Chains A and B, each alone.
Chain A
Amino acid sequence: MLKNILNSYLIFYSPRRFAKLIAYMLQASEYDLKAYLKWFWSTQDFSKVQVRKDLNLTRIARINKTFLALICEIQILVGLGLMILYFTGHLMAGWGYGLGLIIIYPVLWSQLIVVPIFFARLLIIYPKQKRAINRSAQIFKNFNGLKIAIVGSYGKTSMKELLDAVLRTKFKVASTAGNQNVATSHAVFANKLQGNEEILIIEFGEGQPGDVAKFSKTVLPDRAIITGLSPAHLDKYKTLNKAAEDIFSVDHYVKHNKILVNAESSYIKPYCKKAYQLYDRSGTLGWKVGAVQVLNNGLKFELSKKQQTLKIKSNLLGRHQIGPISAVIALALELGLEPEPILGALKTFKPYQHRMEPYQLNGAYIIDDTYNGNIEGIKAGCDLLRELKANRKIYITPGLVDQGPENEAVHLRIGSYIADAQPDIVILMQNSVTNFIQKGLEKAHFKGKVEIIDDPLFFYNNLKEIVAKGDLVLMQNDWPDNYR
């Protein structure tokens, strides 16, 4: 105990370690100063703050780290100087002032560091970003090809990657990278365009009210795909309705019949307008789904319209992928692609990293869905777990973050989804929502074993020790260091 407390605060009094820690906390909070300060004051053991990742030495991180280390070292030296003055009889209060300066430096600079960051953002970064965004708005406005916006609480990156892979077989396509989906990343994307692109696929993230409307205004998309709606980022949106209003604000800029909406998303129906085109696991745009086979390592199904039947084989996992795959096929056919290259692209398309990504470990099937951070995705994963056959099924999750006032209700529901999937073992990462999931499991009369893990990193690193051939393991979501 004493050792832990000492370890926790020793970091504070090693200027370089302290500087690295604060730089890391700022970076992990994405320089959201409110989130950083909240994290700082709620942390009890600073030796355990930096567990999952290390500081990525970007230019800003390096500046913060160097500045903090330097200023703290100067303060220590000044403190020592004052103490020497006391001992040499030159300054009576030197001892007290000196000691005070040395003791106070970590708390002082952990707070004062937000001041230069605040002003740097206000005076330098924001104006620079604004200029870049304005430039990108002009680029998007002048673009003559097709612009497709991908919007939704979840499933955006997978949809964007899938659509890109298919359309690329005929057109010159450019898509926003990874999950970079905010105005500044759109601006970077626009600046990098070659000028010969025929189709742009742009992912719209939603972090706070007005985001999607703002991105739509800049990009002016011709088409939009709304991949789903679920309680996400409710710390900022507060209610699901507010999140929905933002997501659906894309329809102020896109013709309603050019918007494809995932009708499978249970929250989405009240917001759907008549002219929207819908897709789900039964089909889309007149195409009907049949002969579905859900496998450990992919999907097989048929898509039929009038006399035409397409046999689809995909590496994507879970019945919930049928809707998005069908939507991509239907859209690609509408844009003039032939079935053969579409099916070829689907066949080779691999799940995006950590999104229902299957791999084998010690003979067991692991489904890595650790980037899944929404209740609909949790449900889809649980449905898949229930559907697949295995000697032993193991379900692992820490729960979801940013669920705002819905936090308890969402995690109770997660408990019931997990119970429905009937895993043999449920492994929960100890945190603030564990109790709610456990309650949900109890309410749903879950009969299997529940284990609580207090060191997730150790657990994930040793996953191979607990699995064997015949096991099916589903891992959903993973919490970064700044969530407890």
Chain B
Amino acid sequence: MKRVAVIFGGQSTEHDVSIVTALGSVIRPLELTKLYQIEPIYISKDGTWYCDDRLKDIAVYQSGEIDDILTKLKPISLDFTNGLAIIKSSPFAGRKTYLKIDLVFPAMHGTLGEDGSLMGLLDMANVPYVGCGLRASVLAMDKILSKEVALNHDIPVTKYVATTKFELELKPDEIIKNINTMLKFPLFVKPAHLGSSIGISRVKDNQELTNALEVAAHFDQNILIEEEVANLIEVTLPIIGNEELTPGLLERPLNHEASFFDFETKYMGGSKKGKGSKSGSQGYSEIPAKLPKELTDLALNLGLKVYQTFDLKGIARVDMLIDSKKSKVYFNEINPLPGSLYSHNFNQAGISNVELVKKLVNYAQENYKYLKSLNRTFNSNYLRQR
């Protein structure tokens, strides 16, 4: 039986969302396949790594018992000899248990997890893992870089301006003036690397813009300012696969309670994009989106093009904005590890949770095999030359 490590938690604002994804949508279905032995690896908010079967139970997080468990548990360490292994310290006479990991299923959202950091570590460890690789994750999680890559590949994006915290501190008036010249209100101000709508503001004038820039700069070095799409229909498309792609259903969030969704609206009061509870995302979404066929096809094709252009692997979700009057579809952003694997959407597309995780594990193995076939070293006689 293959040993699969599911890594979740982490030092990210999306720590709790990651726990829900791991325990609800990854570990349980993987266990039901009876094909894998699961090692739950939980990264606490202070960055310590733990592995214990008790960490698979959502109740320990909900009750707060997790703090007691962590104080009693010994952190694990990693070993990169011939792949990845975790080393658990036994409470008996300092005995160590060495567990070789055959595959990693990252269930981390946000910084140091979804943004490529974890993928870099796993690449170094030479272990197959589920989902997008380092480069795709870095690009996907950088709202500014992803827009620039998209533009270079003729993928339509909304008009935007990028700035930095440093520039804002140095010449704030010039930045505001530049934004006024380049873009038309209303605008969205976003930290470039954060997910879950954290630090995002919708602004209608310069006063709001100044405040929003200050808020965004509090969270990130890089800030994106972009125009709002008129006659907006937001849609999102989850996709799985490496070369042969299987799209889920085009989904339309239907929350009209706020003009856009901040963290509270998304995960506490009802989900827009489903990283929170499944019922939330299902309750506030239209699956499949009831749009004219022409618009649906445009969005589906754009979603698949984005997935291929950014070399996304395993699973990702592409968010798009539609100007319904002009019938124009814009690429908005990529989520390289959609919350709860967007299983509610795939369920509606006829893929069960168990099938979904089985497919993702197979894609990971397929991608690893492909990457292993590439030659990464080269024997030169450079050092022997005098």
Contact = CB atoms under 8 A, between A and B. Distances in A.
B348 interface: yes
A468 B32 contact: no
Given A462-B28, A462-B32, A465-B32, A470 B354 contact: no
Nearest to B352: A468
Interface string A466-484: 1111110000000000000
A363 B349 CA distance: 9
A466 B354 contact: yes
A467 B354 CA distance: 8
A66 to B, nearest CB: 31
Contact of A465 (B348, B350, B352): B352
B283 interface: no
Contacts of A392: 350
Given A362-B347, A363-B347, A363-B348, A468 B355 contact: yes
Interface of B, secondary structure class, is helix
B21 interface: no
A259 to B, nearest CB: 48
Nearest to A361: B347
Contacts, number: 41
B152 to A, nearest CB: 37
A464 interface: yes
Nearest to A451: B34
Contacts of A465: 28-29, 32, 352-354
B254 interface: no
B351 A468 contact: yes
Interface in B333-358: 346-355
Instruction: Report, as a range, how many residues of chain A touch the other chain.
Output: 10 to 19
B28 A468 contact: no
Nearest to B344: A362
B32 A466 contact: yes
A307 interface: no
A391 interface: yes
A32 B347 CA distance: 46
Contacts of A469: 347-350
B334 to A, nearest CB: 24
B29, B346, B349, B352: residue with the most chain A Cβ atoms closer than 10 Å: B352
Contacts of A471: 350, 352
Interface in B246-297: none
Nearest to A454: B34
Contacts of B347: 362-363, 467-469
A468 B349 contact: yes
Contact of B353 (A391, A459, A466): A466
A466 B28 contact: no
B59 to A, nearest CB: 14
B353 A464 contact: yes
A467 B355 CA distance: 9
B350 A466 contact: no
A12 to B, nearest CB: 26
Contacts of B32: 459, 462, 465-466
Contacts of B350: 363, 391-392, 468-471
B207 to A, nearest CB: 47
A469 B32 CA distance: 19
Interface string A439-469: 0000000000000000000010010111111
Nearest to B350: A470
Contacts of B355: 466, 468
Given A468-B346, A468-B347, A469-B347, A362 B28 contact: no
A391 B350 CA distance: 8
A467 B344 CA distance: 11
Contacts of B354: 465-466
Contacts of A468: 346-353, 355
Most-contacted residue by chain B among A363, A391, A465 (CB, 10 A): A465
Interface string A131-169: 000000000000000000000000000000000000000
Contacts of B349: 468-469
A186 to B, nearest CB: 45
Contacts of A467: 347, 352
Contacts of A464: 353
Nearest to B346: A468
B66 to A, nearest CB: 23
Nearest to A453: B34
Contacts of A462: 28, 32
Contacts of A362: 347, 352-353
A471 B29 CA distance: 17
B92 to A, nearest CB: 15
Interface in B349-378: 349-355
A462 B29 CA distance: 8
Contacts of B348: 363, 468-469
Contacts of A459: 32
Interface in A327-365: 362-363
A128 B350 CA distance: 58
A333 B176 CA distance: 84
12 contacts: A362-B352, A363-B347, A363-B350, A392-B350, A459-B32, A464-B353, A467-B352, A468-B347, A468-B352, A468-B355, A469-B348, A470-B350
Interface of B: 28-29, 32, 346-355
4 closest residue pairs by CB, A with B: A468-B352, A465-B353, A470-B350, A362-B347
Given A363-B347, A462-B28, A468-B346, 11 more contacts: A362-B347, A362-B353, A465-B28, A465-B352, A467-B347, A467-B352, A468-B349, A468-B350, A468-B352, A468-B353, A469-B350
